Amino acid sequence: MDDVDVENAYAMMKQEILAKAVVNESLMDGTTAPVKRIIDNAQLVFAVWPDEGSPDGIGTLIVKGERRVRAIAASGKPAPTGVAAIPPITAKLTVDAILCDCHERAVALHLVLGEAPVGPRPKWYKLPRQRKLLRRKPNRCT
């Protein structure tokens, strides 16, 4: 697969993820319950937000399933530490997405309701601040 094919596949994937997030927006009721259900019912979950810095205007972050994605990427090679416990992935992953207002809220979603980050915690990781970000009103990410 050449670079153009990879770029087109990535662009199509982002559009599909955005479409799922838009559909899921109708499930939101102001609580975290629908978000938790979405995360619990899929193997791979993305946060999606408007991103002016991205060429297509769409930002994405894996909220759940990073280990699975890493295992898929490493298939055919010895599994890195921490990935060996994942069973071989032979079936298509169930994918879903959640719409966020901004990158910061996507990170908060990942850290508070998603899977634990792979590897050491980043220096900026501060859980109380992330929980506060999730409680903010929409469009108040900065």
Task: For the chain, give the mean pLDDT.
Answer: 77
Q: What pLDDT, in 10s, does the model give residues 3-31?
A: 567 777 788 888 999 999 999 999 999 99
Half-sphere CA count of 25, side-chain side, radius 13 A:
14
Express as a percent the part of the chain with pLDDT over 90: 35
| 134 vs 64, higher pLDDT | 64
Is the pLDDT at 106 greater than 80? The verdict is yes
Confidence of residue 138 (pLDDT cuts 50, 70, 90): low
Calculate what percentage of the chain has a pLDDT beyond 70.
Answer: 66
Classify residue 48 as exposed, middle or buried by CB count within 10 Å of its CB (0-12, 13-18, 19+): buried
Dist CA 118 CA 13 (whole Å): 23
E strands, the chain, are 44-50, 58-64, 95-99
Average pLDDT value for residue range 65-92: 59
Predicted confidence at residue 91, as pLDDT, reads 47
- Provide the 3-class DSSP secondary structure of residue 63: strand
d(CA 123, CA 142): 19
Rounded CA separation 35/98 (Å)? 7
The residue assigned the tokens 């890195």 is: 80
pLDDT of 66: 85
